[in-house]
Amino acid sequence: MLQDIHKQLDEYYSEMVEIRRYLHQYPELSFQETKTAKYIADFYKELGIPYETNVGGNGVIATLKGGKPGKTIALRADFDGLPIQDQKDVPYKSKVDGAMHACGHDGHTASLLILAKTMKAFQEQLPGTIVFLHQHAEEYAPGGAKPIIESGALDHVDAVFGTHLWATTPFGVLQTSKHAFMAGADRFHLTIQGKGGHGGYPHETKDAIVIGSQVVSELQQIVSRRLDPLETAVITIGQFNAGSAFNIIADTAELVGTVRHLNTNVQEQVIQEIEKIIKGVCAGHDVTYDLNYEKGYPPLINNEHEAELVLKASEKVPEIKQAEIVKPVMAGEDFAYYTMEKPGAYFFTGAKIEGQGYPHHHPKFDIEERALPVAAKTLITAYFDFQEQS
């Protein structure tokens, strides 16, 4: 049956691409994906597969109960876009000003929808139940995964699998990990309140730019000098906003940054060190500050058994020529919440366009569309392997 399913997915390839390109032209930002959610729901309505809308927000969950007994397994695809102007010169370029699918979520959605269409035809032969989990708001914390879990919609699920079309990994390559796969991702906002004044009279001021610069420099020493060298963390200041003119000393500086980590002990140590450094630097300059630290997505930790199933599944997908165990990447993913609650695994499906390979979140981001059915084949193969081996 699996070969027949794979063959059917190949036959639906053009429709898969058509869906992906349509969604690519009409992206919606996190927590605003009402039209996309309706498109997904309408697709399941036409298929005659039962579904729920407004799950944990804009989430859509469809359920296909097979004709044979078995486990209940969720297959997840996210569907939000990003606040980036599409700069590609392609017929399916985004028609929404200031928004685009710069991370492949349009492809994830197209793959899962056509997988659902395919599996509907095999429903009577299907062991167990497939939960087609269409998740909103992956790109922006607190994200969509957590409220979907809190809604109880996945309480009955035995396992969950998901994939990301990965634009910097060659087509035909699958990547995953048997443990930590993606980083926890936090965000912090610091406001330093100094005392402004004339650029020619610095002794009468408390220069927020100088103080802020010292904070930036000191924060970089947390990883290099305060953490165990065998632990992993990243501290990045992405925004530094201060000043209004060349001859005015700024009284206020705003710094916005991110912390990436692979375990919660390191996360807590980094938070403590950040607070100590900011407090010390500001006290030394006799200025006040306000620090707002937001814990974001936790690290995505794959379950070893389910990761092994993904690797085994890849051997049955002809297009996959290489399956790799890779080091964790320091991007974040709220799929992490699913594997905290249920057995599961996440993997990358290689989708690099040969000779291109713009990274995720780039204005010219695009994917190799031949990877769409590969993603679907791997997900459904892992589904069957879980039914047989668990």
d(CA 111, CA 9): 9
Residues carrying an active site annotation: 80, 138
Strand partners, 72: 129
Return the amino acid letter for 275.
E
Return the amino acid letter for 326.
V
Q: How many CB atoms lie within 10 A of CB 360?
A: 16
- Which ranges of 12-97 would DSSP assign to H, the alpha helix? 13-25, 34-47
d(CA 138, CA 209): 34
pLDDT number for residue 323: 98
Q: Tens of pLDDT along the chain (390 residues)?
A: 999 999 999 999 999 999 999 999 999 999 999 999 999 999 999 999 999 999 999 999 999 999 999 999 999 999 999 999 999 999 999 999 999 999 999 999 999 999 999 999 999 999 999 999 999 999 999 999 999 999 999 999 999 999 999 999 999 999 999 999 999 999 999 999 999 999 999 999 999 999 999 999 999 999 999 999 999 999 999 999 999 999 999 999 999 999 999 999 999 999 999 999 999 999 999 999 999 999 999 999 999 999 999 999 999 999 999 999 999 999 999 999 999 999 999 999 999 999 987 999 999 999 999 999 999 999 999 999 999 985
pLDDT number for residue 264: 94
d(CA 102, CA 362): 6
pLDDT number for residue 314: 98
pLDDT number for residue 357: 75
pLDDT number for residue 390: 55
d(CA 333, CA 140): 10
How far, in Å, are 7, 29, 94, 194, 320 from residue 361 at the CA level? 33, 13, 14, 35, 25
pLDDT number for residue 389: 83
pLDDT number for residue 193: 98
Domains, the chain = 2-181+299-389 (3.40.630.10), 184-297 (3.30.70.360)
Q: Which residue has the tokens 């697709």?
A: 43
